[in-house]
Amino acid sequence: MWRGLWTLVSRAARGPHSPRLCTRQGSGYRAPGSGATIFALSSGQGRCGIAVIRTSGPASGHALQSLTAPRDLPLARKACLRLLSDPRSGEPLDRALVLWFPGPQSFTGEDCAEFHVHGGPAVVSGVLQALGSVPGLRPAEAGEFTRRAFAHGKLSLTEVEGLADLIHAETEAQRRQALRQLDGELGDLCRGWAETLTKALAHVEAYIDFSEDDNLEEGVLDQADSEVRKLEVALGVHLRDARRGQRLRSGAHVVVAGPPNAGKSSLVNLLSRKPVSIVSPEPGTTRDVLETPVDLAGFPALLSDTAGLREGVGPVEQEGVRRAQKRLEQADLILAVLDASDLASPASCNFLDTVVIPAGARNPNGSRQRLLLVLNKSDLLPAGRSDLHPDLPSHLLLSCLTGEGLDGLLEALKKELAALCGDPSTGPLLTRSRHQHHLRGCLDALGLLRGQVRGQWKLRPRLEEHPEALGYLGTA
């Protein structure tokens, strides 16, 4: 049984499925075709000032020498101006900066060369074709440079994910989060957890080896138990918070809702800085849900414009209202819009009663739906704004027409989105379902482990009644 226990602890430490959450490989792992030297255009496609072409693999030095004159390798990691020509014809291709990174001190850990050429399409294709003609070189597959960096232990799996997120980051908050993950914060956190678990393992092993020894300190298993308990709490906190990191990667769902003609579409267009929705004085113009990804005060959001909520309309608009209501239920944040000059209308009162007030009330699990109430068309109010009802829930005044109040709204949005997406500066967030999957597996294994530590030998007869459980434990 103790071997079974050991398997559990180490399984919890390692995670049930390889690769580990923050695996750093570096030996043993060889991607298919990894002996070849690869090359690719690393900068974007299309005409540009400078384009960067990279190679990685054992023939990189030879490739660099084949294309450049003079043919000697430049000093390691120092940019150097060379004439590039096609090794087959001697045809000049460009005058370019080249760099030589002898492995293992390179991005991939292999010998690497870089050609910083003029970004014209003919120059780029000329250099790529010339590289393709060098024996031992082939075009890289998508992501292959990064895969090699992983294979050589230059990046861990969470760092690779951080790098991918950084390349796709469109907002400031996404960039910050991705950069911190690329810098290894999430990996460090996981390694810290793994160390705690290794310590617990050492205590359990000491108990196995010396349990007959009277000198063995009392309470060794209790110590392991309390360490694992603390770990369970820490993992639980991160798992409960996981939705925030994922929202930061993919965008929070912000739904703009309100009665017809409150100015929802104008607000969507103002926030997205483009004419996403048709704006007209005619009530019921927006009938379907219109979605647009936006950068709201540095945070990514998926902004939805919805049909004005009202009753007694035709079947098409009714379907629009049904869709709007469904979207409201799924919203991370509701931007509730009312016409500030029309607050007493039945449509405004109904919206306040059915959407705004209930969202403020706590639901049974203690959370409340986030909502910002925006009173639009403030430009139509008399100077004193005396007609606003004193019982109105807390709100922001805005004029989509003049832009007055927009800064205040953006500030409020920033606060709400920071709470929804998590603040990467306070610690690493779980950003993918893969992280959740492994942490949940770890938590399950820890639960079983603590059960066993507490049950000790008494557990054995019961486990024997469940061969499948014994199989899972890898029993002695």
Ligand X SMILES: Nc1nc2c(c(=O)[nH]1)N(C=O)[C@@H](CNc1ccc(C(=O)N[C@@H](CCC(=O)O)C(=O)O)cc1)CN2
Question: Which residues would be at the binding site for ligand X (CB under 6 A)?
Answer: 52, 101, 104-107, 114, 154
Nearer to ligand X, 154 or 253 (CB): 154
Taken in order 191, 194, 195, 196, the sign of the CA dihedral is: positive
Q: Give the β-pairing of 68-69 and 370-376.
A: unpaired
* Residue 101: strand, helix, or coil: strand
172-182 and 185-210 helices, crossing angle to 10°: 40
335-356: string of b/e by CB count within 10 Å (b at 16+)?
Answer: bbbbbbbbeeeebbeebbeebb
Nearer to ligand X, 109 or 424 (CB): 109
Closest among 327, 333, 422, 317 to 374, alpha carbons compared: 333
Nearer Cβ to ligand X (143/447): 143
Which residue, 114 or 339, is less far from ligand X as judged by CB? 114
In Å, how far are 49, 59, 64, 269 from 93, measured between CA atoms?
16, 21, 14, 47
Least separation, in Å, of the C-beta of 464 and ligand X? 52
Question: 252-257 and 68-69 as β-strands: parallel, antiparallel, unpaired?
Answer: unpaired
Distance CA 39, CA 54 (A): 5
- Report in angstroms how near the CB of residue 431 gets to ligand X at its nearest: 20
Residue 52 CB, shortest distance to ligand X, in Å, is 6
Nearer to ligand X, 15 or 109 (CB): 109
Beta carbon nearer to ligand X, 182 or 420: 182
Q: Which two tokens stand for residue 180?
A: 């911190």
Distance (Å, rounded) from C-alpha 68 to C-alpha 64? Answer: 6
Closest approach of ligand X to the CB of residue 85, in Å: 22
- Residue 342 is given by DSSP the state G
CB burial of residue 201 (10 Å; 0-12, 13-18, 19+):
buried
Nearest distance from C-beta of residue 436 to ligand X, angstroms = 28
Q: Shortest gap between Cβ of 155 and ligand X (angstroms)?
A: 9
The nearer residue to ligand X, 106 or 399, going by C-beta atoms, is 106
Residue with the shortest CB distance to ligand X? 105
> 100 vs 299, which CB is nearer to ligand X?
100
Q: Measure the CA–CA gap between 35 and 57, rounded to whole angstroms.
A: 7
Give the shortest CB-105-to-ligand X separation in angstroms: 4
DSSP for 357-410, written as a single string? HHHHSPPTTS---EEEEEEE-GGGS-TT-TTS-TTPPS-EE--TTT-TTHHHHH
Q: Which is nearer to ligand X, 94 or 114 (CB)?
A: 114
**Is 5 in contact with 125 (CB distance < 8 Å)?**
no
In order of 163, 233, 302, the CA distances from 22 in angstroms are 14, 20, 30
Of 398, 402, 348, 349, give the one whose Cα is nearest residue 374.
398
| 299 within 8 A of 421, measured Cβ to Cβ | yes
Report the residue number, 14 or 148, with the smaller CB distance to ligand X: 148
Q: What is the smallest separation between the CB atom of 20 and ligand X, expressed in angstroms?
A: 21
